Structure 1
Amino acid sequence: MSGNWVQQIPSQSAYWMNKVLFEVHHNDGHLKRYLASPEQYLAAVPMPETLRAAVRDNDIGAMYLAGANPYLLRAHCLGLRISELDFVTSLKAIAQGDHHG
């Protein structure tokens, strides 16, 4: 199977991560709350701590491998002003097997 998901059907954790990526950028006030305290914003989201840390730290490669929707991930990076170079470098690293997150 090609694509970014390890499983054929995205996991519950991937669902919650994608929900966060969507809500942060599409619901009034969510981006402000997320930027003020990513830790607090993510506290109630039922994700494993490693995935919560990946979202909090904007670990693009880890989020992609965990099943982030590529369009939501790209929009998240644009919304947080993560550079194109950082975005592409992160994806190239996982494509080459260099990701350690």
Structure 2
Amino acid sequence: MRNWQQDIPTIQAYWIDRVLFDVHHKEGHLQRYNASPDAYLSAIPLSAEIKALIRDNAVGALYLAGANPYLLRAHCLGLHMPDAEFVASLRAVAGEARRG
């Protein structure tokens, strides 16, 4: 079975989604994340590259890495990312997403 990019479930996709969910649904997590994304992500078993994508809000790259699109959108809304920035990041990887 495949999702939009990868066989599912993958460990990487699970942890990306877990971070996106926890930051916005667990008490105090958003505050900790906003205070220091690197510190918040330090105990998460993801590569430094994927952690940087989360920290830098690299929407398109996170999508390609297997992030659930609904959790990704909710995360960006929770961080007050402008819609134009969100859409531009997805459009930047649109060709890669179709080839996946």
Q: TM over 0.5, yes or no? A: yes
Question: Deviation at 1:13?
Answer: 1.1
Structure 2 distance, partners of 1:87, 1:8, is 25
The percentage of counterpart residues that share the same residue type is: 56
Is structure 2 residue 36 aligned with structure 1 residue 52? no
Structure 2 distance, partners of 1:20, 1:3, is 19
- Contact (CA 8 Å) 2:2, 2:8: kept in 1 or not? no
- Contact (CA 8 Å) 2:24, 2:78: kept in 1 or not? yes
Change (3 A) 1:26 1:53: same
- CA shift digits 1:2-27 (9 cap, x unpaired): 8532x221320111010000000001
Unaligned runs of 5+ in 1: none
| Equivalent residue number for residue 74 of structure 1 | 73
The total of aligned residue pairs comes to 96
Output the amino acid matched with 2:39: Q
TM-score (norm. length: structure 1): 0.88
Structure 2 distance, partners of 1:83, 1:4, is 24
Give 1 or 2: higher helix fraction.
2
Structure 2 distance, partners of 1:95, 1:40, is 31
The residue correspondences of 1:1-101 to structure 2 (distance < 5 A) are 3-5=3-5, 7-97=6-96
- Contact (CA 8 Å) 1:10, 1:67: kept in 2 or not? no
SS in 2 for 1:46: coil
TM-score (norm. length: structure 2): 0.89
SS in 2 for 1:96: helix
Structure 1 distance, partners of 2:7, 2:38, is 30
- CA shift digits 1:30-88 (9 cap, x unpaired): 00000000000000000011101100111111110000000000000000000100011
Q: CA RMSD in A?
A: 1.5
Structure 1 distance, partners of 2:91, 2:9, is 22
